[in-house]
Amino acid sequence: MSSKQIQTNTEEETLKIAQRLANLVKPGDVITLEGDLGAGKTTFTKGLAQGLGVKRTVSSPTFTIVKEYEGQIPLYHMDVYRLENSDEDIGFEEYFNGSGLTVVEWAQFIEEYLPNEILTIHFNYIDEHSRLIEFKPKGSHFEDIVSKLG
Ligand code: ADP
Ligand code: MG
């Protein structure tokens, strides 16, 4: 539909785009991050946290499934990799309908719980310092946001 691709050539450029996106989201928004290991998913989440004014350092939630950070609105960072082959519901609805921004890595494992309106961001490794970041909005709210991204 109205996907947008942006290439970044440094980690800082990726952080900047994420910060801009953080200033466009609203409470209850859900963003899913796709891409291989090292593609930049957690780096992007750090940028979102910076944009939301989160003071704590964001680290990968691999062993906790969800990490919550306090910002202008809360940030819920989920890595649901360990829920592959499990239909465990850790209370996703409450996060997705809550007052924060939810960011999900490995969202394909909880597909049945995801809301209809969502922003999927796919990270493609180009070379050591470059990534092609594809923004795939579902629903008018995220289409609007992506159109403002640059
Ligand atoms: P993932 O969470 O997808 O496994 P990470 O964000 O943890 O990936 O790691 C990405 C790595 O790639 C980091 O070490 C980061 O410094 C590096 N990197 C190099 N160039 C970029 C770029 N343009 N955008 C994002 N990360 C980059
Ligand atoms: Mg990661």
Distance 60 CA to ligand 2 centre (A): 6
Q: Which among 15, 37, 43 is the best mutation to test ligand 1's pocket, defined by most ligand atoms within 8 Å of the CB?
A: 43
* Unique residue bearing structure tokens 């939810």: 102
Q: DSSP readout, 38-58?
A: TSSHHHHHHHHHHHTT--SPP
Q: Sketch out the chain's domains with CATH numbers.
A: 4-147 (3.40.50.300)
* pLDDT confidence of residue 8: 98
* pLDDT confidence of residue 62: 67
Q: Provide the whole-model pTM.
A: 0.95
* Ligand 1 atom closest to the CA of 133, numbered from 1: 24
Angle at the Cα of 99 (from 112 to 21), degrees rounded to 5? 85
Q: What ipTM goes with this model?
A: 0.99
Residue-wise pLDDT for 53-75, tens only, equals 999 999 887 678 899 999 999 99
* Unique residue bearing structure tokens 């403002």: 148
Distance 11 CA to ligand 1 centre (A): 6
